[in-house]
Structure 1
Amino acid sequence: MFDLISDQDEDRPYFETGGIGRSHEFYTGEEQFRREMSRIYGRRWIPVDHVSRLKEKGAYSTLNIGSGSILIIRGDDGIQAYHNYCRHRGYKLVEEATGKRQSLVCLYHCWVYDRNGKLKSLNGTYMDHFFDKEKNGLLPVRTEVRFGVVFVALSDDAPDLDESLGEFGVFAKAYDLADLECVEAKDYPVASNWKLVAHNVNESLHFPTAHKDLHRITDFDDAGTYGLKGDIVGAWQSIRTGYNSVSMTGRSSRTPMPNVPEGDLQKINWITILPNLLFGFTADYVMMQWVWPESPGTCFVRHFWLFHPTETAKSDFSHEAVFALWDKANYEDWEMCERTHRGLSNPLWTPGQLSYDEEVVAQIDAWVARETTDTPAAEPAAGKAAE
């Protein structure tokens, strides 16, 4: 069942920790959280949106990152991210999650910026002749687009994005990710450590007990993990005979995406770009979600539902059965994550044994541990307005 990735190392070692989980401090500790925010989220390329939500000039979205905020907007030369505050006194410019504006007005002292981040007007604010409008535009954030996903980096020494993505392009191209349309997005607050959400999305061991609807359609016994190149991890799972869509009904009249290999038509490919971008690739749609840390014990998840434009253009298009399944499954997952976090918060908890079905859980934690150690074992892979 490896039609997309056939070169697999079936003899790869059983996890870096011998199959044992991580300590309670790894999930709940303040110092570990600070290292993750500084060395991972503050340094690496991180996802912020899909291009289909930023099609028109002036279309924007915002994202709070730690104590800051990012504004992502389509300007005249493509999509660009900026720090979301006025250069005058630091007023947060845009509060809304999404929208469309041709100018950005600071409501404190009425400084006005255009969609390209340039300061256009002070609207009466007195400045002496030393003030240079050209040097007081919005501060840009490094921005790149790959396969329809918008990435930003808060650091000048972020690792090379293409090296980090590794073999992800194999999946992105097969499922036409860059051309898909986001028909809905929803935010979920979760009272757990962000890594527990990443774990949850990458293993199906809990499906029989936690997700009755998903388990009815997907086959837990016909599943496996990938050994992938790059800062990505992945697994796959078959769709049961008699169903052709991972949805509440299990059936769909949508045409499978044209580039999906035959062997993957009855399959979900679960792929995660580390640290926090999670995909469920199916033949008739793609679910994309990312998880953002807020504290050691809280995070929020933004879930995107993406469909092929030939399907969304049809008069009878509906994504209700897909949305209903995943919205229900998400709330079921958040309960699992939150209760797990409460258990891990007990300092007397000791790491448990992981099964082979939880290989990706171990891979995620091993990657985070490598990125946040004081002396990394290896140097991480080294990457304008994006198109």
Structure 2
Amino acid sequence: MTLDPAQIGAAIQPLNRARSMPAGFYTDPAIFAAERAQVFLKHWFFLCRAEELPDPGDYRAFDSPGGPIVLIRGNDGQLRCFANYCRHRGSILLEGSGNVGGRITCPYHAWSYLNDGRLYGCPDMKDAEGFDKVENGLVALDLDAWEGFVFARFTKDGPSLRDHLGDFPDRMASHDLGKMRCTWRMTLEVDCNWKLILENAMETYHTGIVHKNTVGAQQSRTPATVGDWICIQVISGRSIATLTDEVPPFDPIPGLDAEARQGTYFTVVLPTVQFAVAQDCLWWLKTLPVSANRTVLEVGGCFPESRLLQPDFAHRAAPYYDRWERVAREDVGILEKQQRALSSALYRPGPLSWRDDMVQAMGVWVLDRLGI
């Protein structure tokens, strides 16, 4: 890794004299490789909402920094996550999403697995010395969920999901997030480092410029957090999940506490996902780091289940989808330019503003995990 120790030292100074991270933090393939080993493969990462796979046999395949994986609901109703390869010679088993019923069949040599991961069929293996069907089931990831949000990780070591989340569940308790339902998703391929996307999502410094014709200028405060998450709250007496000055199409969630009524929480559950929790809905930015300068970004949105029962739900929800997509595309445009600029041979880290506090916090969290 080629990060300048002096520049790292400047980046972790108290905010009023700190500077931004060196360019290599976002451009160096060696840093990305270290992040894969020390961050992506060791920490919880968000997959989807549990209700998106309601029935036995329902599955969804994902790419991840640790390779292809698949989430599937078994006949016993339990969700499980497996490495998405056949134990014979490594073919991908499932792509996209759908329902396989009770059995997954490899498209290459027809080995088959039950939807709980056990090996079921393996043609022409009777002469293989020492072959044990029990030992050749699918390889499971660690899996857990909180309020319907499903997370996985590649190791069983380290804090539980609940410990990782710290006081995030307490802060969000009055939003009753377990009753949220995912109604919308979109995916963008972004030519920038994954950290730039999440740093951008954790400051309002840019909104009056980049988003001057959409969300406009915003002000925020920074609540204290416990656990592996960070937070700002954009202050607004009503939801900012649509782009008009009119009353939002959906009423606020009943029973919000006094702090929740003050604005929208923009959070990052480290390392790779933002949850934006407004007075009437929730949306996420889920980053899939692909390389030092490439990320796949999924934007997803949820509403309380009761809202889906309204006969004009689709009409009311449309302005939210429009806002989430337009603002995401505006951010992607500026972030791809930022990534290009970081390749300048003359790049030098600049001073941070007080409004960059969570940008610095996220960078320091990553540095700590890398042992830098």
The 5 Å alignment of 1:209-358 reads 209-216=209-216, 220-221=218-219, 223-239=220-236, 244-250=239-245, 251-318=247-314, 319-358=317-356
Structure-2 residue corresponding to 1:125: 124
1:202, 1:360 within 8 Å by CA — same for their partners in 2? yes
Instruction: Give the paired residue count.
Output: 355
- Is the Cα contact below 8 Å between 1:80 and 1:140 reproduced in 2? yes
Question: What residue number does 1:61 align with?
Answer: 60
Change (3 A) 1:156 1:356: same
Distance 1:50 1:292, change over 3 A: same
TM-score, normalised on structure 2?
Answer: 0.90
Structure 1 residues 172 and 118: CA distance shift in structure 2, 3 A = farther
Letter in 1 for 2:293: G
State how far apart, in whole Å, the 2-side matches of 1:295 and 1:287 are: 25
SS at match of 2:198: helix
CA distance in 2, matches of 1:18, 1:245: 32
Q: How big is the shift at 1:52?
A: 2.1
**Alignment-derived partner of residue 155 in structure 2:** 155
CA contact (8 A) 1:147 1:172 kept: no
Larger RCO (CA within 8 A; separation ≥ 6)? 1
- Cα gap change, 1:184/1:69 in structure 2, threshold over 3 Å: closer, same or farther? same
Q: Which residue of 1 aligns with 2:176?
A: 176
User: 1:89: which partner in 2?
Assistant: 89
Question: Unpaired segments of 5 or more residues in structure 2?
Answer: 1-11
- Please provide the CA RMSD for this pair: 2.0
- Report the Cα distance in structure 2 between the residues aligned to 1:279 and 1:315, rounded to whole angstroms: 27
Unmatched 5+ stretches in structure 1: 1-12, 375-387
- The farther-off stretch of 184-193 and 260-269 is 260-269
Deviation track 1:141-178 (CA, whole Å, cap 9, x = no partner) reads: 11111222211111232333322211110233222222
Equivalent residue, structure 2, for 1:381: none
Aligned counterparts of 1:53 and 1:213: Cα–Cα separation in 2: 34
Summarize the Cα distance change of 1:23–1:17 in structure 2 as closer, same or farther, 3 Å threshold: farther
Alpha-carbon shift at residue 244 of structure 1 (Å): 4.5
Is the 1:257–1:284 contact (alpha carbons within 8 Å) kept by the matching residues of 2? yes
CA distance in 2, matches of 1:299, 1:283: 29
Q: 1:207 to 1:55 in 2, by over 3 A?
A: same
Output the CA distance in 2 between the equivalents of 1:347 and 1:213.
Answer: 34
- Moved >6 Å (runs of 4+): none
Do the aligned partners of 1:214 and 1:246 also contact (CA within 8 Å) in 2? no
- What does residue 371 of structure 1 align with? 369
1:40 paired with 2:49, answer no
Identity over aligned pairs, percent: 26
1:336 Cα deviation (Å)? 1.2
